Amino acid sequence: MALPYIHVGAFTRSAGLYSALGKQSQLLNLKPVKKITFTFDPLSENGVVVRNLLNYFYLERVRETNLNCVLKTKIVSTRADPTVEVDLVDGKTLLYQAKHLQPLEVLHSFNALVSSQVKAEAASEDLPKGKLAKFQMKR
């Protein structure tokens, strides 16, 4: 006599850490940001987090969202903790002390606090031309 098959858990697996980082990097938007300062000590083992974050913020697609945003990197040799300081246009400042954080946590928090302030661009601005536009006008 066979035992009945009972499935426990999800049918699909998550795509993993790299997929999650890719999704969060697609959501990055620098429109409400005036300046971002990355500070780290290259000899410290905790500086790896900020160096990895630099790769995501220096992507061309991300930088093109706000050409007036200044991305500044401070390399110190004082064994200071790695930090990311974000100055917003409205005068507020966010400070991420990345000593015990992972890049995914910082990107997720940045997207929740900063990138979510950007208003969604209206897709209705780009009206199609041709037969479809004439059909829509008749309605």
Please tell me the pTM assigned to this model: 0.75
Compute the distance between CA of residue 87 and CA of residue 30 in angstroms, rounded to an integer.
11
Looking at the domain 18-118, which fold is it? Glutaredoxin (3.40.30)
Query: Six-digit token pair at 12?
Result: 């699909």
For the chain, which residues make up each domain, given as ranges? Answer: 18-118
8 A C-beta contact, residue 36 and residue 87: yes
How high is the pLDDT of residue 118?
85
How high is the pLDDT of residue 123?
40
Closest CA relative to residue 34, chosen from 84, 71, 87: 87
Compute the distance between CA of residue 3 and CA of residue 113 in angstroms, rounded to an integer.
50
Q: Is 111 exposed, middle or buried (0-12, 13-18, 19+ CB in 10 A)?
A: middle
How high is the pLDDT of residue 124?
42
Tens-level pLDDT at each residue, the chain (139 residues): 666 767 666 666 677 888 999 999 999 999 999 999 999 999 988 899 999 999 999 999 999 999 999 999 999 999 899 999 999 999 999 999 999 999 999 999 999 999 888 876 534 445 555 656 655 666 5
